[in-house]
Amino acid sequence: MASEPKKRHSKAQKRTRRASIHLAAISLVNCKNCGEKTISHQACRSCGFYGGQKSADIKPQVKITRA
Ligand SMILES: [Zn+2]
């Protein structure tokens, strides 16, 4: 047998609970190698450095333009 909730949650209880459901802002830090703004705990997107050493090869981005 399925268990049933003992009491109904009020609208205010439901809304208070759901008011805290949201995405957190991404924390940006300055790259120690090039100074560019980058996402923390990830390799820099412009130079590929992480933790003082090169960890990713960054290819120069090609801009796609419509003919
Ligand atoms: Zn960098």
Question: Where would I find the H helices in the chain?
Answer: 11-19
Distance 14 CA to ligand 1 centre (A): 44
3-25 confidence digits (pLDDT tens):
999 999 999 999 999 999 999 98
- The per-residue pLDDT for 14 is 96
Distance 35 CA to ligand 1 centre (A): 6
Yes or no: say if 28 and 38 are a contact pair by the CB < 8 Å rule: yes
Between CA 20 and CA 4 the distance in angstroms is 26
Distance 2 CA to ligand 1 centre (A): 55
Please say if the pLDDT value at position 31 is more than 80.
yes
Please say if the pLDDT value at position 29 is more than 90.
yes
Average of per-residue pLDDT values in the chain:
88
- The per-residue pLDDT for 67 is 66
